[in-house]
Amino acid sequence: MEVIIVGSAAEAGRIGADAIQALYDRKPEAVLGIATGSSPLAVYDELGRRVRDGKVSLKEAQAFMLDEYVGLRADHPERYRNVIQRVFVDQVDINPANVHGPDGLAEDLAAACEDYERAIADAGGVDLQLLGIGTDGHIAFNEPGSSLASRTRIKTLTAQTREDNARFFDDDVELVPRHCLTQGIATIMSARHLVLLASGRSKAEAVHQMAEGPISAMWPATALQLHPHVTVLVDHGAASRLQLADYYRQTYEAKPQWQEI
């Protein structure tokens, strides 16, 4: 796990976009894993600028979403498929038909989850997966207590997650769905490269546990310690609990120029 401490969200966005651009330079048909939330927005903004400037293209790409609420109507602005359309698809040149998400409106949710796992596998797997992290250490909607071997499935959201997300629903927690479909931890771990972004002191304990704590289902993101290629981009606030922060800074400063993230 490589931990990179940055000075701003813009810097994190630049480094994340560097990794995506390098991927598409060598593999134009690569599969990108995309996330909602505030953490990846700087990456999408920077990637959009590069697409508009002709520096990178996602025309041949496929993309898979991490999760989706269950039961939100198709035109609801907070349905994650619509959020991804606004923050990602509208900024780049990817074919919208090549952007996939779990079907939170399916009559048979279990079958929809199986179909989604199959679609990811049929696409050849995810080459680079963007991630955020919750204050309780969840990744995607894998709440504390989630199986580290889990695959795409229905999950019940915790009260904390619903309260955290109420800001997107007029600050009314009762409007936040109680269930979601989410890629499992094992599904996420199957991606070839994981890039996790976090900012602010509210994420500091989760980042500390993820990078330096014991592997535990109580902090689902700690499973990332077992992945061979993880890049963590954190600002000073999110890095404030890291015991090895000075070492992470020294390692990044001394990194060979030829070595990508």
- Taking each helix axis from N to C terminus, what angle separates 41-52 and 9-26, rounded to the nearest 10 degrees? 50
Residue whose C-alpha is closest to residue 51's, from 24, 30, 32, 27: 24
**Which is catalytic among the residues 68, 103, 127, 138?**
138
The catalytic position among 68, 117, 127, 136 is 136
- Helix H segments across the chain? 9-26, 41-52, 80-87, 109-122, 159-165, 185-189, 204-212, 245-253
Structure tokens at 192: 């070839």
CA distance 35 to 68: 10
- Displacement of CA 127 from its chain's centroid (Å): 13
Instruction: Say which of 127, 143, 164, 235 is annotated catalytic.
Output: 143
* Residue 67 a catalytic site member: yes
127 is a catalytic site residue: no
Question: Which of 68, 151, 63 lies closest to 106, judged by CA?
Answer: 68
Active site residues: 67, 136, 138, 143
